[in-house]
Amino acid sequence: MTQTPLDLAHAAMQAAPDDDAARLRFFERLGDAELFMLLEGEPVGDAITPQIFDPGTGSIVLLFDREERLTGFVGAEAPYAALSGRLIAGLLAEQGLGLGLNLDVAPSSFLLDGDGVQWLAQTLGHGPDEIEARLAEVSAPTGLPDTLITALDTKLATATGLAQMAYLVASVDTDGKRSHLLAFVGAAPGAEPALARAASEALTFSGIEAGAMDVGFFDAADPVTARLARVGLRFDLPQPAPAHVSDAQAPGSDPARPPRLR
């Protein structure tokens, strides 16, 4: 089987146990991934009941980053809920549960106890502060570590359809504050919080101080966008393929109605 992003991130973490950056990248991939949670039975409305195990380190639920890995662990088809790692971390933290990832079926087999899940949920749930500022100058970005550029490129590759593109620039606001700015162009309606959180996570999981970068949102027709395009480092966000509309909704598919564990 082809190695998954979690397999690769886990292998990098295992190969460098003293490298905090590698460890943070693994947890970032865990939060970004779609994971399959093993359930006791089929979902009932927006309520799901995970199977709970205790390997001797506390109660955990079982997660897999491929449906076939879940089936391989169980030995047969089994009910599951497909949710983002970010959402799962929040649900498990509320219940004091740990997680087991890909146990016995992949090289990325990994256990995280309840305290670890609490930390992950808090880290993923931390968002940037919102401020009002006006740009006075923009120029080519300088002095930022390659780890941050790579983290942004990887993170924004998961933000399908949330914006057209982003530009990373050095900036000076009208108060004279110097910083770097990640400027999103053509953000989808309501996508601003998710994009700001993605940028914040790229900083957090790169081990970079949060003050190293601001986030802004611009319309493609805004005159400043042409200035950003001339000097900025451009990131193209993937765009979604036409979706098939279905009347049925899986648990977790509506952000306004997250699933409930029971």
Q: What is the number of alpha carbons within 13 Å of residue 240 lying toward its C-beta?
A: 9
At 245 the pLDDT is 47
Angle between helices 146-156 and 20-32 (to 10 degrees): 10
Q: What is the pLDDT along the chain (262 residues), one digit of tens a residue?
A: 689 999 999 999 999 999 888 899 999 999 989 999 999 999 888 889 999 999 888 999 999 999 999 999 999 999 999 999 999 999 999 999 999 999 999 999 999 999 999 999 988 876 665 556 688 899 999 888 888 898 899 999 989 999 999 999 999 988 888 889 999 999 999 999 889 988 888 888 887 665 568 899 999 998 899 999 999 999 999 998 765 545 555 666 555 566 767 6
Q: For position 170, what pLDDT does the model report?
A: 93
Bridging pattern class, strands 60-64 and 98-101 = parallel
Looking up tokens 């399959």, which residue turns up?
Answer: 36
Type of residue at 142: T
Q: What share of the chain is helix, strand, coil (3-state, %, to 5)?
A: 35, 25, 40
Give the pLDDT confidence score for residue 104 in this predicted structure. 94
Nearest to 262 by CA among 36, 42, 33, 31: 42
Question: How many angstroms separate the CA atoms of 213 and 143, rounded?
Answer: 12
Structural domain spans, the chain = 5-125, 135-236
Phi, psi of 179 (to 5 degrees): -160, -170
Pick the CATH number of 135-236 from 3.40.50, 3.30.70, 1.20.1300, 2.30.30: 3.30.70
Who contacts 218 (Cβ-Cβ below 8 Å, separation ≥6)? 183, 184, 185, 224, 225, 228
> Model pTM?
0.71
- Burial of 129 (C-beta count, 10 Å sphere; 0-12/13-18/19+): exposed
